[in-house]
Amino acid sequence: MKQRAQGAPRRPALFARIITLSRKPRSVIAIYAGSFDPITNGHLDLIQRGSRMFDRLIVSILRNETKEPLFSVEERMEMLREVVDVYPNVGVDSFHGLLVDHAAAHSATVLLRGIRAISDYEYELQMALMNRRLRPEIETVFMMANEAYSFISSRLVKEVFSLGGDITGLVPPAVEARLHRRLSKIKRRGA
């Protein structure tokens, strides 16, 4: 390590911070976080495109004890692994606590987010600015959702499916099969 010459002034903290912020990492790791309850083709499209942009992309499920999900975190991780298996630079994990801390723990410098419509913008802007305030060295990168999937959300998919609507093409086939199994289990329990 380079020694500071005796009597030489210490590099000001702000200057060191600017250097850190302006240095491009050798390998760009991005985190794509969400609930993924369940993963939709809209998410998958973003993962596919993100895998081409970043050296590594980690799809991270938020462990949120306050929400009652349809699928457990472990089931969601299994589903995600099934569908991202074809992308060698994409990994799957889960986290709790702050997203930026999770990103820093993985040496990630990018948070990948998808924007479907203008209605997503305000929430996304708030999150991006808060995350920047928490850790300015981590950048939020937005990608526009593919127009073919811009109306899809996990919530809508679950609602339509539970009411007997056709969700073919909205979620990966493996996820659709799991939804069928989950719905018949719920129906059996309710019968």
CB of 167 closer than 8 Å to CB of 36? no
Given 10, 24, 26, 67, which residue is catalytic? 67
When asked if residue 33 is in the footprint of ligand PNS (CB under 6 A), the reply is yes
Interacting residue with ligand PNS among 35, 48, 89, 146 (CB under 6 A): 35
Q: How far apart are CA 155 and CA 50, in angstroms?
A: 23
Site for ligand PNS in 106-145 (CB under 6 A): 127, 130-131
Active site residue 22: no
CB of 47 closer than 8 Å to CB of 87? yes
How many other CB atoms are there within 10 angstroms of residue 82's CB atom? 16
Interacting residue with ligand PNS among 29, 30, 31, 34 (CB under 6 A): 34
Active site residue 185: no
Of 16 and 98, which has the nearer Cβ to ligand PNS? 98
When asked if residue 38 is in the footprint of ligand PNS (CB under 6 A), the reply is no
Residue 105's Cβ-count burial label (10 Å; 0-12, 13-18, 19+) is exposed
Instruction: Tell me which residues touch ligand PNS (CB under 6 A).
Output: 33-35, 62, 98-99, 127, 130-131
